[in-house]
Amino acid sequence: MRKSLLTVTLVVLVAVAGCATAQDEVGEASMVLEGRMNAHHLVGLVPEGIRLDSYSSGRFTGGVLTGATGDWIDYLLIRPDGVRVIDVRGYAEGPDGTRVAWTMKGFFAEPGPPPLEVRLEAMLDPEFEFPDVDFPIHGAAWFQTMESEYDFLNYTVFGFTGTMNPFLGEMRITFRSLADQDR
């Protein structure tokens, strides 16, 4: 019983300290990331759907991380119901030496009408090309850094929206803080 009370007390203290830090310095409300898909590897059919790993690089062109350049991998999953699930891991370094890692979870475009087997067959065709269309993406992102000036990033969840054109390999994503900006 005593160990449980200590654990709960520590969790509450860490949560309160984290909330206080996040409220002390909200930082800028948004960031913009522009990038380009450099390569992709079709993993193929997995139990959850079709897996496609996409390797990209780019630059933050707006907000607190302006000028930072980085690379990221999207472990894209196209589920049997057509929903495309984004699972991104990234790393960037700013001109001032700031290093940031981030995670994005979300969705890519609307579910496609063709069944999974039709999409898989089309993607496995050696002459397959992605359509020249901007697809909407949206979700949530989390950033991590050891830089004290940007510490608020560690305690802020960002929503993101943007577009991705697989044919051109270009993307533009805007991140907005979901923290209460009135504090």
Confirm whether 183 is domain-assigned: no
CA distances 180 to 24, 132, 138, 146, 151, Å, are: 12, 38, 20, 23, 17
Confirm whether 148 is domain-assigned: yes
Confirm whether 107 is domain-assigned: yes
Confirm whether 115 is domain-assigned: yes
Choose among 64, 45, 47: nearest CA to 177.
64
B/e letters for 35-66, b = 16+ CB within 10 Å, e = fewer, are bebeebeeeebeeebbbbebebebbbeebbbe
Confirm whether 22 is domain-assigned: yes
Domain count, the chain: 1
pLDDT reported for residue 114: 59
Confirm whether 112 is domain-assigned: yes
Confirm whether 146 is domain-assigned: yes
Measure the CA–CA gap between 27 and 113, rounded to whole angstroms. 42
Question: Quick check: 112 pLDDT over 60?
Answer: no
Q: Domain containing 19: what range? A: 2-177
Confirm whether 182 is domain-assigned: no
**Which CATH number is 97's domain given?**
2.40.160.20
Q: pLDDT tens for residues 55-87?
A: 999 999 999 999 999 999 999 998 888 889 999
Question: Quick check: 54 pLDDT over 60?
Answer: yes
